[in-house]
Structure 1
């Protein structure tokens, strides 16, 4: 259960990161509320998962999932350009997350 919660909280890390950009310096209310909600859910999930998963592993997975999803979102929305190297590195990042689960 901890691994599932960790992955979901990593997804919410991407939510708050994307919402943070959309707040435009906390000047927009709706993205600010999404940011705050995503941040709380993400941190609560990380905290829960760290009861059973070692800190270093949990944090690496949490940031890896969040970073990968944030980049994927940005590429799909056309906010960032996709190059073969960038996509390969994101694939490696996801592979590292899977690898951490396998060796845990």
Structure 2
């Protein structure tokens, strides 16, 4: 259960990161509200998961999911570069996340 909560929390990190960008410095109410709700939910889930998952592993997986998710959304929906080197680097991050899960 802790791993499922951690994965969902990592996905929520992607949500709040994109909402933060879209809030235009907290000047747009809807993205600012999404940011706040997603941030609190993401942190709460991380805190719950860290009850049973070691902090180093849990935090690295949470950040990795959020970073990869945010980068992918940036490439797919926001017009950021999707060059081969960037994609390879994201695959390396994913392999690190999977490794941390399996060698936990």
The alignment's TM-score, normalised by the length of structure 2, stands at: 0.98
- What's 1:29 paired with? 29
58-67 vs 77-86, greater mean Cα deviation: 77-86
CA RMSD, aligned part only? 0.6
Indicate how the Cα distance of structure 1 residues 61 and 32 shifts in structure 2: closer, same or farther if over 3 A, else same.
Answer: same
What's the offset of the Cα at 1:78? 3.7
Where in structure 2 are there 5+ consecutive unaligned residues?
Answer: none
Which residue in the other structure is 1:53 paired with? 53
Runs of at least 4 residues of structure 1 off by over 4 A? none
Q: Which moved more, 1:42-51 or 1:77-86?
A: 77-86
Pairs aligned (count):
104
Which TM-score applies when normalising by structure 1? Answer: 0.98
Residue segments in structure 1 that go unaligned for 5+ positions in a row? none
Provide Cα deviations, 1:35-86, integer angstroms capped at 9, x if missing partner: 0010011000000000000111111000000000000001001431111010
Structure 2 equivalent of residue 72 of structure 1: 72
